[in-house]
Amino acid sequence: MDLFDLTGKVAVVTGGTRGIGLMIARGLLQAGAARVYISSRKAEAGDAAVAELAEFGTAISIPADVSQEAECIRLAEEVGKREEQVHVLVNNAGATWGEDLEKFPESAWDKVLNLNLKAPFFVTRAFLPLLEKAASHEDPARVINIGSIAGLQPTAARTYSYSTSKAAVHQLTRNLSKELAPRRITVNAVAPGPFESKMMAATLAAAGDEMTKRVPLGRIGRPDDMAGIAVFLSSRAGSYLTGAIIPVDGGIAT
């Protein structure tokens, strides 16, 4: 169905070399995206992801540390050397930190907020010229921010800076959606529940069965669940949606 067809579109996924970012990159390629640029700090991780994605389409790795504004700008410039426009930007790069309240370090706030909150703002700003070139009244350019259900409700995990950063990402999404709508750019956020990823590996290993019991649908997320929402938001099917925070969590947020 062409309602979900992404043929010819160019996408950029930060943190696209593993976990949720890799799920999204694969889904965009499977839906017909012409090229998907993935970024992470480590070049070798990018190379491995490109090889893994090769069977689905063309993925290109550009390493960057998007916790720094200068790197956000450089990433946009590097993509701009190769592309005249970008149709879809996925702000997925993120980090977490768990520690008891009494021991939670200042460095954990700086590291997590720089990557989880500052990066989506500065990456989006850096890519605005390329997004505007792709945008039209009939088919807006898309920004997809990856939040978390930890930003929608309190969590038992002692990940204070993580949950705070994700709640802020949700509000940033709303603010940017209002500002960028007249420029024909939609901005939405996905709030994932538990998915198999490196960030969740320790939690799932320690309490995966118990976590699954708390999911109304009775399982953790699968790659297709994340790919599906990303394709929807990137395609004609999602062209009239902006400013939304969409839980993809098996019902936990209810």
DSSP conformational letter for 220: -
In degrees and rounded to multiples of 5, residue 4 shows phi and psi of -115, 15
How far is 36 from 224, CA to CA, in rounded Å?
A: 17
Which residues 6+ apart lie within 8 Å of 121 measured at CB?
172
What DSSP designation does 67 have? T
Return d(Cα 5, Cα 180) in angstroms, integer.
24
**Of 23, 39, 76, whose CA–CA distance to 197 is shortest?**
23
For residue 246, CA distances in Å to 11, 52, 148, 250 come to 20, 28, 9, 12
> Which residues face 39 on adjacent strands?
14
User: Which one of the listed residues 37, 160, 162, 240 is annotated catalytic?
Assistant: 162
Beta-strand ranges (E) seen in 102-197 are 141-146, 185-192
Distance CA 126, CA 64 (A): 13
Return all residues near 160 (Cβ < 8 A) that are at least 6 apart.
Answer: 101, 104, 108, 109
162 has catalytic annotation? yes
- Catalogue the active-site residues: 162
